[in-house]
Amino acid sequence: MDTVHVFGQARKWILEAGEQIRSSFDKTLNIHTKSDPNDLVTDIDRDTEKFFIENIRAVFPGHRILGEEGFGDKLQDLEGVVWIIDPIDGTMNFIHQQRNFAISIGIYENGKGKIGLVYDIVHNELYHAIAGSGAFLNGKELPKLERAAVKESIVALNISWVLENKRVDHNLLIPLVREARGTRSYGSAALELVYVATGRVNAYISPRLAPWDYAGGALIVEEAGGSVTNLNGGKLDMLNKSSVLAAGPGLHGDILERYLKVGK
């Protein structure tokens, strides 16, 4: 893959899609529900995914696409070049707040992350990373993350995971929430990941996300010097759902070992 060429196209399309989403703010949204009454999708989510797919198919016919809204390919493996797209990450925020949402794109070659883009349209903040070349915000390289202790950290997580639930032992998360300097919840995994990359938060935890939520942001965190794994310390799965722990150096291992009890 010609990474520079592919990145240039992806950047152009994400900015164009952002412009289209911005201009939709004045129009009435068509809102539909998916798996449950709080699982929302709008025509804008669908149209944005279709916009990327049409462009990718026209310029890169050999590339394959995994998109949340299902207009891409049905993938069984990650061979070749695969675009993993969330047309709007944070749809509930998009509908209720018209902010705190982003477009997320991860481009993988034979399973390896090559390009990540996350675009916060409302703030006009475009984050990107190219494997081995660092992480950037609006073209300016982000400084490498420094070590932080839990007691001086802001941890991003959804409050519902601290209640008793099926996916994670909430008793493990309570001490982390208690000992951290603060917690935040933004309702967009892609933004919470890039906030780890910028140091706006120091860690992000979710027991259940899909590849399109983290494919772009994970690469940006790693290129900023952080680590992203599942809650067992293993590699993220880019075909199936996975838990996610993203944090800067030192803190990532600390949370895994001292709070999530991995390796104990």
Residues of this chain that interact with Ca ion (CB under 5 A) are 68, 86, 88-89, 213
**Does the CA dihedral 121-69-64-50 come out positive or negative?**
negative
DSSP 102-151: EEEEEEEETTEEEEEEEEETTTTEEEEEETTS-EEETTEEPPPP----GG
Q: For residue 91, indicate whether it is catalytic.
A: yes
Q: At closest approach, how far in Å is the CB of 192 from ligand IPD?
A: 7
Nearer to ligand IPD, 90 or 116 (CB): 90
- Answer yes or no whether residue 243 interacts with ligand IPD by CB under 6 A: no
Whether the CB-CB separation of 170 and 164 falls below 8 Å is answered with yes
Q: What is the Cα–Cα distance from 8 to 139, expressed in whole angstroms? A: 12
89 is in an annotated binding site: yes
Q: Contacting ligand IPD (CB under 6 A), which of 158, 179, 199, 253?
A: 158
Q: In angstroms, how far is CA 161 from the centroid of its own chain? A: 18
Residue 120 is a binding residue for ligand IPD (CB under 6 A): no
Catalytic residue, candidates 49, 69, 89, 222: 89
Does 187 help bind ligand IPD (rule: CB under 6 A)? yes
Residue 55 binds which entry of Ca ion, ligand IPD, none, with Cβ cut-offs from 5 to 8 Å by kind?
A: none
Is 49 an interacting residue with respect to ligand IPD (CB under 6 A)? Answer: no
Long-range contacts of 162-166 (CB under 8 A, 24+ apart): 165/207
Buried-state track 145-175, b at ≥16 Cβ within 10 A, e below 16: beebebeebbbbbbeebbeeeeebeeeebee
User: Given candidates 67, 90, 113, 116, which one binds ligand IPD under the rule CB under 6 A?
Assistant: 90
Catalytic residue among 44, 53, 65, 88: 88
Look up 3 and say whether it is catalytic: no
Q: Is 253 in the site for ligand IPD (CB under 6 A)?
A: no
Catalytic residues: 68, 86, 88-89, 91, 213
Binding site for ligand IPD (CB under 6 A): 68, 86, 89-91, 158, 187-189, 206, 209, 213
